[in-house]
């Protein structure tokens, strides 16, 4: 009967009704969690069923990590087609705003200090209003020390900075090359728009609106020989995060993948040579495949932690359904590697000494 009623409603309204119902059910499940967890605990002691969800299996010897820094990929949709992308447009789902806020509040309660919004491209959803409202909520309501965004920068407008810039600590822009032809080969080309010219415009807006500016670069077969010293020093980001191109089964490799990143992969030796060439850049933060794979807490569009330990992304249950503590046990997060790679740093702009 419910499906029949929904079938007669406009699509947008039907989605809103379903989202509201899901929220009510999630809240009910959360209230019942204290009753459910002891049951699974009892089953474990008497021979836990193999069908028991991994995230709900109790292990008294297991240390539950704190979600100090979380990367929330709230959308998979993107306007670029980077060939090595490891979080591809497999769905078009985005949580309703209030559900996303509820999940972020749960993470704050569990110990989150930094949230990074990513995608896909975060500024695609509602022309940046969705991520803007989340940024404002996290800084103004949750009072998180650090709120950041990773974006390709192509859809950001100055009016966004005017409205939300005060709530954003760090804006990271993806730039893999200062040669526009290489950007096109990689998949960052977009018609007549120049990715590098746009990068400089965004750098100036970050100065104008007191947002710390960061650059992310993925080093691959098409840019590994490039010398970026002069350009990076001129832009003077607070951090230049340099990633080695990473293969994730099901995302950029394999039969069910939307990308084929094999042609972009470089050796460890090639990556080290690139780092050696740029060793005098003071803001350089290198991340090899080994450092990347298990040292990030990644939430997908359903607010599920993604475990990458087996070379592909295996999701937990959503934190909205089973809570943060139960879900994070399935994340595969290596807290020691997170600290070793410098995952915790001065990430609040209030604590930075910057020449805006």
- Please tell me which residue in 78, 138, 175, 206 is annotated as part of the active site: 78
Could you give the angle at the alpha carbon of 64 between the alpha carbons of 248 and 28, nearest 5°?
90
SS3 301: coil
**Cβ(310)–Cβ(268) below 8 Å:** no
Q: Which residue's structure tokens are 């990076």? A: 232
Q: Residue 175, class by beta-carbon neighbours within 10 Å (0-12 exposed, 13-18 middle, 19+ buried)? A: buried
- Please tell me which residue in 29, 85, 206, 245 is annotated as part of the active site: 85
SS3 45: helix
DSSP string, 172-216: EEE---SSHHHHHHHT--BTTB-HHHHHHHHHHHHHHTT-EEEEE
Longest dimension (CA), the chain: 67
Paired tokens of 121:
């491209």
Active-site residue, 85 included: yes
Active-site residue, 206 included: no
The CA–CA distances, whole Å, from 321 to 30, 157, 277, 336 equal 6, 36, 48, 28
How far is C-alpha 122 from the geometric centre of its chain's CA atoms?
10
d(CA 137, CA 127): 17
d(CA 41, CA 72): 30
d(CA 242, CA 33): 41
Paired tokens of 349:
């702009």
- Please tell me which residue in 29, 48, 82, 138 is annotated as part of the active site: 82
Active-site residue, 175 included: no
Q: Could you list the active site residues?
A: 78, 82, 85
């Amino acid at each position: 009967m419910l499906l029949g009623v929904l079938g007669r409603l406009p699509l947008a309204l039907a989605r809103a009704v379903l989202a509201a119902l899901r929220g009510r059910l999630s809240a009910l499940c959360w209230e019942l969690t204290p009753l459910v967890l002891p049951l699974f605990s009892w089953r474990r002691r008497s021979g836990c069923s193999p069908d028991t969800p991994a995230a709900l299996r109790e292990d008294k010897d297991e240390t539950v990590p704190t979600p100090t820094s979380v990367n929330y990929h709230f959308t998979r949709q993107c306007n670029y087609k980077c060939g090595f992308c490891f979080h591809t447009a497999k769905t078009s789902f985005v949580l309703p705003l209030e559900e996303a806020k509820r999940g972020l509040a749960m993470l704050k309660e569990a110990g989150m200090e930094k949230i990074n919004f990513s995608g896909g491209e975060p500024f695609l959803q509602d022309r940046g209003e969705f991520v803007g409202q989340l940024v404002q909520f996290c800084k103004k309501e949750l009072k998180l020390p650090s709120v950041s965004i990773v974006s390709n920068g192509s859809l950001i407008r100055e009016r966004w900075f005017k409205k939300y810039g005060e709530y954003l600590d760090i804006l990271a822009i993806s730039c893999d090359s200062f040669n526009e032809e290489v950007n096109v080969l990689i998949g960052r080309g977009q018609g007549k728009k120049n990715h590098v010219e746009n990068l400089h415009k965004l750098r100036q807006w970050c100065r104008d609106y007191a947002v710390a500016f960061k650059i992310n670069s993925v080093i691959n077969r098409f840019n590994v020989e490039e010398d970026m010293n002069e350009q990076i020093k001129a832009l003077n980001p607070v951090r230049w995060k340099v990633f080695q191109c990473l293969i994730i089964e099901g995302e950029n490799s394999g039969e069910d993948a939307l990308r084929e990143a094999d042609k972009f992969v470089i050796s460890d030796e090639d990556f080290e040579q690139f780092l050696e060439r740029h060793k005098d850049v003071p803001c350089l933060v290198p991340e090899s495949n080994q450092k990347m794979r298990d040292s990030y807490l990644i939430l997908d569009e359903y607010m599920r932690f993604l475990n990458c330990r087996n070379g592909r992304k295996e999701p937990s249950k959503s934190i909205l359904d089973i809570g943060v503590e139960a879900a994070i046990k399935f994340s595969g997060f290596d807290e020691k590697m997170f600290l070793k790679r410098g995952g915790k740093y001065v990430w609040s702009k209030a604590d930075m000494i910057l020449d805006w």
